A and B are shown apart, each in its own frame.
Chain A
Amino acid sequence: MTQEPAIAFEDVAFGIGDLSAAFSFERAAGSVTAILGPSGAGKSTLLNLAAGFLTPSAGRIGLNGKDVTRLAPSERGVSMVFQDNNLFAHLDIRTNIGLGLDPALRLDRTAWSQVDHALDRVGLGGFGKRMPATLSGGEQQRVALARAFVRRRPVLLLDEPFDGLGPGLAADMLDLMLEIRAEVGATVLMVTHDPDEASAAADQILFIARGRIAADAPAAGFFDRADLPDLLAYLGNGAKRRGGATI
């Protein structure tokens, strides 16, 4: 079986002038890729292009062998987890997860039991009737992962999902994400600004600078490289540059 790349960006271009971005890369099914780079470099742009929130001005985006360049976000087979506001604050936890199964919430009993199972899976069994505001930040992200879990889409896009959770909690969440990814068999693109998180979770690194892919390399030993001026500048200000979230 010839291995079709799970994610393929072919000369994808977006925007013009100083804010332009152009990406070309491929990812094998089941891989986990961390996307790093300075604020405003285009990390989130890349993710939003993959998700379909932005439409490229040129190029082609393929997901699992299908050209999705012109497809709506919901038709692309992707799940997405953001840093904040993953849950509709006025809907309870079960409903938030249930929407992942059917956007009009027409769910039968088996579907609802799937929802409850997903809650159990992320360690929040019995939380279904609670409102998002009554949960901690980490618990809310677990719910978001639970929704990705029930959706079982082949591509999982994460936009700094564990930022602001504190190191211990972030590490736990990372493990949970990797387990869920393995169970679903999804290919992961994960924007992060934490080199440790990238080393721990990813097999590949995409380093983005000024709207271009400055490096596309295996994660092992990546942060010890001295041949990338952009990387040195990025790490130089302290290996863990907090804040400056990409929006």
Chain B
Amino acid sequence: MLTRAEHRTARTGGWSALLCVGLGLAAPVAVLISQGIEAAPSTEQGTYLFRITRFTLLQAGLSTFLSLLLAVPLARSLARRPVFPGRRWLISLFAVPLGLPPLVAALGLIEIWGRNGIANKGLSVLGFETPFSIYGLSGILIAHVFFNLPLAVRLILPALERLPPEYWKTAANLGMNGFSLFRLVEWPAIRRSAAGAAGLVFMLCATSFTLVLVLGGGPAATTLEVAIYQALRFDFNPGRAVLLSFIQVGLTLIVMLFLRLFSVPTEEGQTSGGGTSRPDVRGGLHVLLDAVLIGLGLVFVAAPMIAVLVSGLSADLPRLLGDTLFWRAAVTSLSIGIAAATLSVLIASLLVRGRYSAGNRPGSPILAVLAGLSGAAGSLTLLVPPVVLGAGWFLMFGGTTGQLLAPLAVIVLVNALMALPFVMRVIEPAHRNTMERNGRLAVSLGLVGLNRLRQIDIRAMLPALATGFVFAVALSLGDLGAIALFGSDRIITLPWLLYQKLGSYRTADAAGLALLLGGITMGLMVLADRLGNRQRSEER
């Protein structure tokens, strides 16, 4: 509940935040469009564009298929075994890849699946001649499954755990098991989550930049995003970058419209450790099968992380930490991260407040637009991937990378917009909650305006604001998308430094850096998670 003056402020704030998001998105897109009019594709370019688009769709489709194909049985196995030592830990571990900087994960994956990795050594012991290649399509698929299999499991598992315990008892009583149980009970329960997860995974894979950049290798395995980057940074072919951007945005638009058909499971839900017992589950061989499946899932997800840890620790860390370049990169990264997070939390707060205020008086068309746009602002930033956004700004600056302030501002803006959907998702429920709980009381006490913001609203939402902030810092720290376009001798971030070390085959340095970068972001993610839990327990 807000007073009339507070409503005015909230709506003004909402509109200005929208304006900011709109400009951040519209300016680069406008530049892309104005340049695109001049760049009509030639036939030769047409085949190139077609090939890139086809590969983007192919790898995203295959990645999605493989992730889901493995996630469904794994989620079933986990649901069948509600109690085993380390279960809660395993499910927490499955949340890690999502927060891991892609570049760090790529390094770990190379350690495991690369030419000299454990997987290939194992295969050669088994007598396979040609080693499995981490570069090209197979590498991209492995990396995408590494990121998205755990995500899909975490999205699907709650749908099974939410089923009432009587279902499993009835299934046991009636003697349903195996395929009948899957067909008649489990699949109907997870169908929606699985479809939503598939759409989300496809979206993530279709816009994946870093993994394809590092593992893609060669023109045969290049996606739209990487091709945009190459067109701008190497070939300086803005026309091609513009056309690629159009295709990319068109593609994400189609996928997003498709996603709206399903409700994407936004909540990963409480994955209770050892809730419902499963009297329908048999022992014996079935235990072994589930154990093998869960064990394989664990090894697949954990191995690259352990590899990052092991190879990072064997690097010359003291020398790395003594390097001024490292500290310069760290300070730059952190500054960008803090600036981006501040901007993101500010925009998100204004949008959330504006949306709340606008939703308060149904019937007004203008307010409905405000509410709708504020809600959509989050997804809109997903529509235009960071590399595309960066490409627009890059062209606006005429491609000069020598400047300092303008590129930095763009990197901050792009990172802030990137984090916006996640930050909003954290802040919105906390805001709704404090409004429900304290709104009437505050107004009745005459505690309004700035005083109320300071004393009540911000305090009540502090854990949520902090969660969003820390999460945004972590996300920005690990990002290579925006910096890849603007990185130079003058602007060096940690991921950019890591990428350069990788490119110049300074493998040991890269391993050490990856450990440091991964450690920092993981630490921040854990912190964000803790803060988020505190908020949730306060809301209860």
Contacts and interface: CB of A to CB of B under 8 A. Distances in A.
A85 B166 contact: yes
A48 B169 CA distance: 9
Interface in A166-217: none
B174 A103 contact: yes
Contacts of A53: 169, 172, 277, 279
A84 B164 contact: yes
A103 B164 contact: no
Interface string B159-186: 0000011110111111111011000110
Contact of B172 (A72, A85, A100, A105): A72
The 10 A-B residue pairs with the shortest CB-CB distance in the complex, in nearest-first order: A74-B175, A85-B166, A53-B279, A85-B164, A103-B176, A73-B172, A104-B180, A90-B188, A103-B175, A82-B166
Given A51-B169, A72-B282, A100 B164 contact: no
15 contacts: A51-B172, A51-B173, A51-B279, A52-B172, A52-B279, A53-B169, A73-B279, A73-B280, A74-B175, A85-B164, A86-B170, A90-B189, A99-B176, A103-B171, A105-B180
A51 B171 CA distance: 12
Given A72-B282, A82-B169, A85-B167, 9 more contacts: A53-B172, A72-B175, A73-B279, A79-B173, A80-B169, A84-B164, A84-B166, A90-B188, A104-B180
Interface of A: 48, 51-54, 72-75, 78-80, 82, 84-86, 88, 90-91, 95, 99-100, 103-105
Nearest to B280: A73
Contacts of B279: 48, 51-54, 73
Is chain A's interface secondary structure helix, strand, loop, or mixed overall?
loop
Nearest to B189: A90
Interface in B173-217: 173-177, 179-180, 184-185, 188-189
A103 B166 contact: no
Interface residues of B, number: 23
Interface in B316-331: none
Contacts of B179: 104
Interface of B is mostly: helix
Contact of A73 (B165, B173, B184): B173
Contacts of A74: 172-176
Interface string B124-164: 00000000000000000000000000000000000000001
Contacts of B188: 88, 90-91
A106 to B, nearest CB: 9
Contacts of A78: 173
Contacts of A95: 184
Contacts of A104: 176, 179-180
Contacts of A85: 164-167, 170
Nearest to B170: A86
Interface in B214-244: none
A224 to B, nearest CB: 35
Contacts of B180: 103-105
A99 B184 CA distance: 10
Contacts of A91: 184, 188
Interface in B271-292: 277, 279-280, 282
Contacts of B170: 80, 82, 85-86, 88
Interface in B440-470: none
B173 A88 contact: no
A80 B279 CA distance: 13
B184 A100 contact: no
B240 to A, nearest CB: 49
Point out which of A48, A51, A104 has the most chain B C-beta atoms below 10 A from its C-beta.
A104
Interface in B357-379: none
Contact of A103 (B167, B177, B189, B282): B177
A88 B177 contact: no
Contacts of A99: 174, 176, 184
Nearest to B188: A90
Contacts of B282: 72
Contacts of A48: 279
Contacts of B184: 88, 91, 95, 99, 105
A230 to B, nearest CB: 28
A80 B173 contact: yes
Nearest to A76: B173
Nearest to A90: B188
Contacts of B277: 53
Contacts of A51: 169, 172-173, 279
Interface string B61-80: 00000000000000000000
A86 B277 CA distance: 16
B48 to A, nearest CB: 48
A78 B173 CA distance: 7
Contacts of A52: 172, 279
Nearest to A157: B173
A159 B313 CA distance: 58
Contacts of A75: 175
A82 B184 CA distance: 20
A104 B176 CA distance: 7
A245 B201 CA distance: 42
Contacts of A80: 169-170, 173
A232 to B, nearest CB: 33
Contacts of A90: 188-189
Residue of B164, B170, B171 with highest tally of chain A CB at under 10 A: B170
Nearest to B277: A53
A73 to B, nearest CB: 4
Contacts of B173: 51, 73-74, 78-80
A100 B174 contact: yes
B280 to A, nearest CB: 8
A238 B172 CA distance: 37
Contacts of B171: 103
B281 to A, nearest CB: 10
Nearest to B179: A104
Nearest to A83: B166
A229 to B, nearest CB: 33
Nearest to B187: A90
Nearest to B163: A85
A25 B277 CA distance: 26
A88 B167 CA distance: 7
Nearest to A54: B279
Contacts of A72: 172, 175, 282
Nearest to A91: B184
A221 to B, nearest CB: 34
A148 B188 CA distance: 24
A79 B179 CA distance: 22
Contacts of B177: 103
A80 B172 CA distance: 10
